[in-house]
Chain A
Amino acid sequence: MTLLKEPDRGTPAQPGPAVVDVEVDGIPVTVPAGTSVMRAAALSGVDIPKLCATDSLEPFGSCRLCLVEIDGRRGTPASCTTPVAAGMKVRTQTPKLEKLRQGVMELYISDHPLDCLTCSANGDCELQDMAGEVGLRQVRYGYDGENHLGLEKDTSNPYFDFEPSKCISCSRCVRACGEIQGTFALTIEGRGFESKVSAGGQPFMQSECVSCGACVQACPTATLQEKSVVQLGMPSRTVLTTCAYCGVGCSFKAELRGDELVRMVPYKDGGANEGHSCVKGRFAFGYATHPDRVLSPMVREKITDPWREVSWEEAISHTAARMREIQAKHGQASIGGITSSRCTNEEVYVVQKMVRAAFGNNNVDTCARVCHSPTGYGLKQTFGESAGTQDFRSVAQADVIVVIGANPTDGHPVFASRMKKRLRQGAKLIVVDPRRIDLVRSPHIEAAHHLQLRPGTNVAVVNAFAHVVVTEGLVDRSFVDSRCEGYDEWAEFIARPENSPEVVEEVTGVPAAEIRAAARLYATAGNAAIYYGLGVTEHSQGSTMVMGMANLAMATGNVGRDGVGVNPLRGQNNVQGSCDMGSFPHELPGYRHVSDDAVRAVFETVWGRTIRPEPGLRIPNMFDAAIAGTFRGLFVQGEDIAQSDPNTAHVTAALEALDLVVVQDLFLNETAKFAHVFLPGTSFLEKDGTFTNAERRINRVRPVMAPKTGKHEWQIVCELAQALGYPMDYSHPREIMAEIAALTPTFAGVSFERLDQLGSIQWPCDDNAPTGTPTMHVETFTRGKGRFVPTSFVPTSERATRKFPLILTTGRILSQYNVGAQTRRTANVAWHPEDVLEIHPHDAEVRGIRDGDEVSLASRVGRTSLRAVLSDRMPVGVVYTTFHHPVTGANVVTTENSDWATNCPEYKVTAVQVSLRTTQREPAVVD
């Protein structure tokens, strides 16, 4: 496709039906009430000149180019700020208007550098376009009057430049920063002619700016411009694709110049992001072409040997032969595979198919095991479907937003911006988190309640919430009676005194009155929505907590419509999809248990192989079995288990015990140190397929470039399966999706053609819902009746002791992503060069630790060292770190504890000791 220029209708669309008839330059058009004259004109095909207006922002009325005449009205109102009225007759081109517009442009150009031909925005500059459109032919003021041409350029941000001499003071950047992103880092400084855009009076890099790119996107001139455009020039073609970072799944226009990717621009029609982006998706794509990428297959006999580059044929036949060898010696169940939530649905599907059909066992698991497996379990048990209930848009209808164990402004920034917008409109916020996340108090937002609970006590808190609802008569009886089952037993359980806020206060540390007030707010304020993250799932009771939240939502009738629900914020781009694709050892695609004969029969018919009716090994089970010697070969697709899985000592012991480790990845990661075969993978820019985001939205991933490795990942897997003697062959990923659709009822209506046509589809998509399902459980729950499950609070065995008196919890930050394999290979390191340990000043004081000191962090399983940062975001007794850098080895200290139901690791609670290091930094050590 050539460069895609999206239409800009000047002001946002108004909700509601088109009911107001107006006439623009004689052309009739009917628009919703509240629509601006400018937008009505655009919809009628008449583009009114504009500079300060853009349809992603509320009208502002400052440039005065869009003036029109309206019959029967005095003067020349601005069309952007004037709403339509029935019967209005608008004229957009009259001699008077022409003169006024030329006059405005004359003023603009009298204070603008005349370097269009060498300007980086040449050809993509609205000021330039408007000068042409209004017919500007002269600037009678001359160019030697007072001006801003001498203002200095700010190049401090690694991704974009700010050149104030080109600024026309339209405030679009300032408004985008506030209205869209909600950071309010930018302002207009000074007044009158001295008005200028400022990042709070500092260079961008030192300011509050989070580099989301909204300002760059909004700028109509070259004032805020991607450095890549300055360096490479204007792009000439567009490929629509999907971001490969977090579970928000933003749609992007990849803009290329020839075959070179110039920039990623958020797509306005993207269902998940609607034109917004964050620093990762917008700018941090350079890892795809980083020199560290391995592009040829490599093998070695022993992990102490050097790698040997080989042909694809050799790599594949070698791998197949070794696998067959192991199976011959140790049995069919002695090998397995792990799928990646970073890969496409199609890539994941073929891996699990290879395991089930070619390996002949169910030993397939996914990295979602270590993040959201409890979501799958908990929501399936209660609602009947392993997925969130809403689309992202729904948050705009919420009256109360509960954020539990999630840090959206860092982890899911684009969704966080939507949430913040709603909060600024007046929705109430309840934050349940041991750490004072940014959302608790950010510009124009303040949480009504921040329940700063002790790590590991989520279930006690959610039970206390429910206790208040049940004992204070706040239950939505008609919802419960008509739509749910198991209520009475649950209510009896939850009403027990042990679940009261007063009793749990001692264990949670949350004042009973706070819980009562928050619970009342949740139950009575209209639409109440729960959003949660890994702070819910990564606990020994992760699954219980998910069910606890589902119980609460059902009891208050907060399921099945806009503005409510229970919504997991998925960590990775395709967590939802990799789970949907049958990556769990007990489930075939579409969450159907392997023991179900009918389901197996369907797959067996199409796959031509017998499928085992017993569940296979989960990732931690694989490690245990490896150490026990019954599991000998592992295929790892795009997950760095050695860095990201808990209790590194245990993981490395398991990996060392394996006879064959096959790693498919972009980089020689930590796991590759234990690998015998390395199969180079492809970045999202090379992939062709689909990702499914946290709102069940299936988005197309389209290739921006050919695979740098010469092969698509799905092809490699197919070839490996064939080498193993199982015929698996597709000519294009669309055929894989066709097979998925044929075998999976919830995907029945999904195809690449349909996706191209609709843009995206939220599953379930079938004959009943041919365009997908934004909100689930509307009339009935997927399982029929919603099921209340009693959730008894069982404290984790991981507790602060004399030896390890502090509790470590982990999280991530905005600029980095998971183990950092991608973001560490971009300029994002400018924001986060290392992981640090946040420690409360009180805990630091008693240990003689000052801000910036090197400290040692030790748990019962290992120790590491990192720099301390004093912070009162955590309560006394809790420390916090991120796990983006392998050198930190945060998982050296995390333990083998896991969720009882899914074995999702308990990353969020580790008893540790922190002490001042006097010697130099040492590598992480396993005790």
Chain B
Amino acid sequence: MPVPPTVRLANEIAAQFHHQSADRAAAAIAQHIRAFWEPRMREELLQHTTSTPEALDPLVVAAARLVS
């Protein structure tokens, strides 16, 4: 089963912020997604946070809460 693009992309973003504290990292990820992601993609990511949270970096899950 291929990884959905939004999941892959979000995880890749999250990987860049692991050197920061979880709070700051989540805020930065959320900010990035807000600034660069088209609404459909954000919507899809939010769905993944509930349907397949295990596929997502925990920071993404935290960030997604801030995006919505």
Q: Indicate whether A and B are direct neighbours in the complex (CB within 8 Å).
A: yes
A509 interfacial contact with B, CB 8 Å: no
Which residue from A617, A625, A792 sits with its C-beta under 8 Å from B19? A792
Contact present for A615 and B38 (CB under 8 Å): yes
Contact present for A625 and B16 (CB under 8 Å): no
> How far is A794 from B15 in the complex, measured between Cα atoms in Å?
7
Please indicate the chain A residues that have their CB under 8 angstroms from the CB of B19 in the complex: 493, 790, 792
A828 interfacial contact with B, CB 8 Å: no
A896 to chain B, nearest CB (A): 8
**In terms of DSSP, what is the predominant structure of the interface of chain B?**
helix
B62 interfacial contact with A, CB 8 Å: no
Instruction: List B25-45 residues whose CB lies under 8 Å from chain A.
Output: 32, 34-41
Contact present for B39 and A614 (CB under 8 Å): yes
Report the nearest A residue to B37, measured CB to CB.
A615
> How far is A835 from B35 in the complex, measured between Cα atoms in Å?
39
> How far is A758 from B32 in the complex, measured between Cα atoms in Å?
40
**Contacts A792-B18, A901-B13 hold; do A615 and B36 have CB atoms under 8 A apart?**
yes
Report the nearest A residue to B44, measured CB to CB.
A628
Please indicate the chain A residues that have their CB under 8 angstroms from the CB of B37 in the complex: 615
> How far is A618 from B19 in the complex, measured between Cα atoms in Å?
27
Which residue from B32, B35, B41 sits with its C-beta under 8 Å from A621? B41
A571 interfacial contact with B, CB 8 Å: no
A386 to chain B, nearest CB (A): 14
Contact present for B40 and A625 (CB under 8 Å): yes
Contact present for B16 and A794 (CB under 8 Å): yes
Count A-side interface residues using an 8 Å CB cutoff: 30
Which residue from A540, A593, A903 sits with its C-beta under 8 Å from B35? A593
Instruction: List A897-923 residues whose CB lies under 8 Å from chain B.
Output: 898, 900-903
Contact with B along A788-800 (1 / 0, CB 8 A): 0010101000000
> How far is A333 from B32 in the complex, measured between Cα atoms in Å?
21
> How far is A620 from B5 in the complex, measured between Cα atoms in Å?
9
Most-contacted residue by chain A among B16, B18, B19, B35 (CB, 10 A): B16
Which residue from A595, A616, A901 sits with its C-beta under 8 Å from B38? A616
B5 to chain A, nearest CB (A): 4
> How far is A903 from B12 in the complex, measured between Cα atoms in Å?
10
B9 interfacial contact with A, CB 8 Å: yes
Contact with A along B4-28 (1 / 0, CB 8 A): 0100110011011011100000000
Please indicate the chain A residues that have their CB under 8 angstroms from the CB of B36 in the complex: 586, 615, 618, 901-902
**In terms of DSSP, what is the predominant structure of the interface of chain A?**
loop
A317 interfacial contact with B, CB 8 Å: no
Contact present for B40 and A630 (CB under 8 Å): yes
Please indicate the chain B residues that have their CB under 8 angstroms from the CB of A541 in the complex: 16
Contact present for B38 and A544 (CB under 8 Å): no
Please indicate the chain A residues that have their CB under 8 angstroms from the CB of B15 in the complex: 794, 900
Contact present for A900 and B35 (CB under 8 Å): no
A476 interfacial contact with B, CB 8 Å: no
**Contacts A493-B19, A901-B32 hold; do A585 and B12 have CB atoms under 8 A apart?**
no
A514 interfacial contact with B, CB 8 Å: no
Which residue from A540, A595, A617 sits with its C-beta under 8 Å from B12? A540
B34 to chain A, nearest CB (A): 8
Contact present for B9 and A903 (CB under 8 Å): yes
Chain B residues close to A by CB (< 8 Å) = 5, 8-9, 12-13, 15-16, 18-20, 32, 34-41
The 10 A-B residue pairs with the shortest CB-CB distance in the complex, in nearest-first order: A792-B19, A900-B12, A624-B5, A794-B15, A617-B38, A614-B39, A900-B13, A900-B16, A586-B36, A616-B38
Q: List 24 A-B contacts (CB under 8 A).
A: A493-B19, A586-B36, A595-B34, A595-B35, A615-B35, A615-B37, A617-B38, A617-B40, A620-B5, A621-B41, A624-B5, A630-B40, A790-B19, A790-B20, A792-B19, A794-B16, A900-B9, A900-B12, A900-B16, A901-B13, A901-B16, A901-B36, A902-B36, A903-B9
Contacts A617-B38, A618-B38, A900-B15 known; list 12 others, CB within 8 Å.
Answer: A541-B16, A586-B36, A595-B35, A615-B36, A615-B37, A618-B36, A620-B5, A625-B40, A792-B16, A794-B18, A898-B9, A901-B16
